[in-house]
């Protein structure tokens, strides 16, 4: 496997610390994209609080970053956009992002509302995956069912198109979301075991109960071999959908190995794994700073909890033959608001586990984690390269 990591000089940069991560991590034809934001080359916020202007800036940056990875917009298969705002803002985000793509090269786009992003005045952050051949041309894609799009060995799913009754209870909406996932897998002729990773975005209070309701519903879609899962409470998520599912499938028939490690127990009798391997790809569930009994030894403390979550990840990767240097994508959900200090408090610890140049990373502040005593949740993907 050929791996290249890149941070083009002409694109945006941070203005703190020694940046260890990369804006792109390319493993053969698959390109992971760091969360792209409207900063300038000196790390200063551009067009603060102006969503429309930041959307244009961010998409321009995305194009430059892709060129640095020998790809273009036509190569993009999956994007996730985290934006500050409500339903009208989501419609603006969808229009602005998809307008940059040719009609026959539209990516799968997930839009998630958040209270804040890392910098004051930041309104949009976009990350995702692209698939391009060595000569820079887009790799062929396939769409086996509505709301599903893939390329190579990967198939992505998102549930925003699922029909739901906005007046249903949260429990019934969770059941409807899982039913839609099941039907999509059947339409794509994919097995539940092919689902490697699921993001569960759900409108929630701070109560752990909502985490358990969502997890109980999702568990019914899988047998003994469930996926790696991250649960992300987003109070702004509402309207007709109070829960949305994003999933990554590996559909090349490669052998699956599940880790035997369990740093902490899932609530209930859930079949989810803390990490699994499919071929050269490893997926690690969102790691919370919990002990073997499901308690937080350092309740409410960001720094020790970040270290504990990172140590969990290193052990889980090692159990499947990977190291942190193999990580191509980090997703960090941390408690906090629009604050550079809140970001750096955990980002510098996460970066200390990387060897420069490291893989890509996206950090999104959230009001709280699934567990009331936890301050941070970190999940990763890795590609084992020689």
Distance CA 320, CA 278 (A): 10
What is the per-residue pLDDT across 140-149, written as a single tens digit (0 to 9) for each? 999 999 999 9
Average pLDDT over residues 354-380: 95
Which pTM does this prediction carry? 0.97
Total domains present in the chain: 1
Lowest mean pLDDT among 103-107, 243-247, 336-340: 336-340
Task: Using the predicted structure, report yes or no on whether residue 337 has a pLDDT greater than 90.
Answer: no
Please give the helix or strand (H or E) that residue 68 lies within, else none: helix 51-68
Q: Does residue 386 or residue 89 have the better pLDDT?
A: 89
pLDDT in tens, 221-230: 999 889 999 9
Beta strands in the chain (DSSP E): 3-6, 24-27, 30-36, 76-84, 108-114, 124-131, 141-142, 148-151, 154-158, 195-202, 228-233, 243-250, 256-258, 275-278, 281-287, 327-335, 360-366, 376-383
Residue 43 above 90 pLDDT? yes
Predicted pLDDT of residue 152? 96
Mean pLDDT over each residue of the chain, to the nearest integer: 94
Mean pLDDT of all residues in 285-311: 95
Nearest to 263 by CA among 255, 275, 252, 278: 275
Where helices occur in 228-367 by DSSP H, the ranges are 302-319, 340-351
Judge contact between 244 and 217, C-beta under 8 A: no
Residue 163 has pLDDT above 90, yes or no: no
The domain of 109 spans 3-383
CATH number, domain containing residue 294: 3.30.1330.40
**What's the pLDDT score for residue 241?**
82
The answer, yes or no, to whether residue 55 has pLDDT greater than 90, is yes
Say yes or no to pLDDT of 276 above 90: yes
């Amino acid at each position: 496997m050929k791996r290249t990591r890149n941070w083009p000089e002409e694109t945006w940069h941070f203005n703190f610390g020694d940046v260890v991560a990369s804006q792109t991590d390319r493993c053969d034809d698959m390109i992971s994209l760091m969360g792209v934001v409207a900063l300038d080359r000196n790390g200063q916020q551009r067009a603060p609080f102006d969503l429309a202007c930041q959307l244009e800036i961010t998409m321009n940056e995305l194009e430059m970053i892709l060129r640095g990875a020998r790809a273009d917009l036509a190569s993009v298969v999956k994007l996730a956009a985290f934006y500050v705002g409500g339903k009208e803002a989501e419609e603006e985000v969808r229009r602005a992002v998809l307008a940059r793509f040719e009609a026959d090269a539209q990516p799968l786009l997930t839009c998630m509302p958040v209270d804040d992003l890392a910098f004051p005045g930041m309104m949009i952050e976009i990350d995702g995956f692209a698939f391009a051949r060595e000569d820079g041309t887009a790799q062929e894609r396939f769409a086996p069912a509505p709301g599903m799009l893939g390329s190579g060995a990967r198939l992505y799913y998102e549930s925003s198109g699922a029909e739901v009754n906005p007046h249903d209870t949260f429990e019934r909406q969770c059941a409807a979301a899982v039913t839609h996932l099941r039907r999509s897998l059947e339409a794509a002729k994919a097995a539940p075991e092919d689902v490697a990773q699921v993001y569960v975005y759900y409108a929630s209070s701070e109560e752990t109960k909502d985490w358990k309701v969502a997890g109980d519903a999702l568990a019914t879609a899988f047998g003994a071999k469930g996926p790696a899962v991250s649960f992300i409470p987003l109070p702004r998520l509402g309207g007709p959908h109070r829960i949305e599912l994003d999933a990554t499938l590996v559909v090349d028939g490669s052998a699956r190995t599940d880790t035997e490690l369990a740093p902490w127990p899932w609530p209930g009798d859930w079949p989810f794994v803390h990490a699994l391997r499919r071929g050269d790809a490893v997926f690690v569930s969102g790691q919370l700073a919990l002990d073997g009994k499901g308690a937080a030894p350092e309740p409410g403390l960001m720094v020790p909890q970040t270290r504990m979550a990172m140590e969990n990840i290193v052990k889980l990767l090692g159990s499947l033959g990977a190291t942190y240097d193999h990580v191509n994508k980090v997703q960090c959900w941390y408690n906090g608001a629009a604050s550079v200090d809140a970001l750096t408090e955990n980002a510098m610890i996460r970066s200390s586990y990387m060897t420069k140049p490291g893989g890509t990373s996206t950090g999104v502040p959230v009001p709280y984690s699934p567990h009331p005593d936890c301050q941070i949740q970190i999940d990763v993907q890795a590609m084992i390269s020689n």
